[in-house]
Chain A
Amino acid sequence: MEKLIITISSQTAAIKAQRLLESKRIRSRVVKLRPEKNERGCSHGVEVDAENLGKATVLLTENGIQYSGIAHM
């Protein structure tokens, strides 16, 4: 199963996002991004199955959780 990462610079926001997704039965986990994924340095994200990406990003937007992009691990 392909995995994608919804990038969120704040780890607190990433945990908030992960808990929201879990509450909606979307399997996810908080990850730390590799430095090459963010030119500004350390960043975090929520890893989801690629097939759930659309549903997950809609949920985050609806709940005011900002994300900065989508990345591959």
Chain B
Amino acid sequence: MDKEKLIKCAFFVLGMVSVIAVGFIVFYIFSAGVPGIVKVGFKNFMFGKVWASTAQNPKFGILPLILSSLWGTFGALLIGVPVGIMCAVYIAQIAPPKLCAVFEEFINLIAGIPSVVFGLVGMMQLVPSVAKFFNLADGASLFCAILVLALMILPSVIKVSVASIRSVPAEYEEASLALGATKIETIFKVILPAAKSGIASSVVLGSGRAIGEAMAVMMVSGNVANMPRIFGSVRFLTTGVASEMSYAGGMQREVLFSIALVLFVFIMLINTVLNLCFKGKTK
């Protein structure tokens, strides 16, 4: 009897590890990030347009980083979501089972490729092609980052969308077909609207992936903290942290933690939206 209780306690401890980990992460991010924001001043930090962390008279405005991250994420969604939903429709509704399994393997493969490999291919192939095609001096730009991110969020978008399309009751489809709608009309006018909350959560999940990606973006975006322009070199929140952390000290280091805090807050906002989406679905 005692032994059983002991074992239960042990499992309880293991179960609480993830809760404790979240607590630690929140604690460390806030305690490391808040001092930087306070010193620079919230308004100067969030809305300052100049990021010059290593200058004689350093300026720590992260508006360019925030806007680049947002535009990058938005652009990735703009390309990735329509393609992802169409692929999900193909997998869940159109493909014969065998082809479907093969295609899903490809999706899993894209999901499994390490982000540095995306970065390398982007750097060696995409960036020069973009430079040549659009006649630019340097192809490393927001545009390249968007293309790479669009590809990287595809698997999340597709998987969640497929699951939500598959969970639409078969009666919906049968009723629509019985009323004389074609297969394709049924898919786009009945099934997709019925699956919209699941698809919405796939979009939110994808945006979380896009805003948090660092290495691939760092390798293709040029990494200069400009205000975002589609063919200009940009720096994201993630890459801002990753590229300077290794040599930063003093004030610069504190501010980098503040950037991480901003990124963390963005991610938590996205998670909250995601949770609301899922709750909406179960109702």
Say whether A associates with B. no
Residues of A bordering B, CB below 8 Å: none
Residues of B bordering A, CB below 8 Å: none
